[in-house]
Amino acid sequence: MKDIIQQLEKAQVGKVLQDEPLANHTTMKVGGPADIFVEPHGIDELKRTMDIVRQHNVPWRAIGRGSNLLVLDEGLRGVVIKLGKGMDHIQEDGELITVGGGYSLITLATLQSRKGLTGLEFAGGIPGSVGGAVYMNAGAHGSDMSNILVKAHVLFEDGTMEWLTNEEMEFSYRTSVLQKKRPGIVLEAVLKLQSGERETIVAEMQKNKDYRRETQPWNFPCAGSIFRNPLPNYAGQLIEKAGLKGFQIGGAKVSEMHGNFIVNAGDAKAQDVLDLIAHIQKTIQEKFDVKMETEVEIIGHKS
């Protein structure tokens, strides 16, 4: 690993750290260390980083703001690339917005609503990055990224960069082609919004923000929705019906505010969260004969 670190530092790709705790980079505040942690200063630096990663044939993983991630206690082997400062550019051309993968989704939604552009109201309370939102087709309130994305600029494992159209992203519920078929990093996205009545748009987004604040425990470290909704059922309702609100294992606790949220109630380990997820799945299966699948992405090294 020392060779890779030296090469990354020599290439001046950006911030390079060794054994960086990923609990510092996830909204749930759990997760072991990354062997090597890189925060590139821009797209060119990110490409140089990936060239070095590929040259050494080490595993890698890109993260954004860490809002939909559960990182295991053992951490991640290889290189973790964070899209943050340097990947948060924005260019506006009327209703077309080109935005970097590291840009805050909440900030973007707020900014565009104030300009009288509609389409991002659903994202007003989603604490992720644009790149992460495109990657997992983030959504809420009956809309998602697939409704506004024109194309995404993606860096693939082999070092090639390509613009993928909305159709080529193969969006479905909380999923895109990048998750399994064509692993890659969303460098930037072009979004198409619509002009509308500024006061109406701002009010709608504020309503969505207020709803999240009133119904979801964002005052605690958490990772957002833990389970996908097993339609026509809703995960949170099933968990509440099963009497699991407030149930706790170690430092991980089912939120008393919303059943589909697990919060870090104090010094939680990733294993506490995993054990709680398994307990919920077993209970819901036994009580309602419904299989619960995780929406939160679980990553890391298993010892």
Please give the positions annotated as active site. Answer: 174, 225, 295
Tell me the C-alpha to C-alpha distance, in Å, between residue 137 and each of 44, 45, 213, 226.
Answer: 25, 26, 22, 15
179 contacts: CB under 8 Å, gap ≥ 6 = 135, 136
Q: Which residues contact 103 (CB under 8 A, 6 or more apart)?
A: 87, 88, 89, 90, 129, 130
Taking alpha carbons only, the member of 262, 264, 266, 267 closest to residue 278 is 262
Peptide bond into 217 cis (omega under 30): no
CA distance 26 to 15: 18
CB atoms within 10 A of CB 159: 12
Cα-based angle 214, 216, 217 (whole degrees, multiple of 5): 105
DSSP 120: -
Q: Long-range contacts made by residues 175-178, C-beta under 8 angstroms, separation at least 24?
A: 175/136, 175/137, 176/134, 176/135, 176/136, 176/137, 178/135, 178/154
Quote the DSSP letter at residue 165: E
Residue with tokens 């929705």: 225
CA distance 173 to 183: 18
Task: Report which of 88, 66, 86 is spatially closest to residue 76, judged by C-alpha positions.
Answer: 66
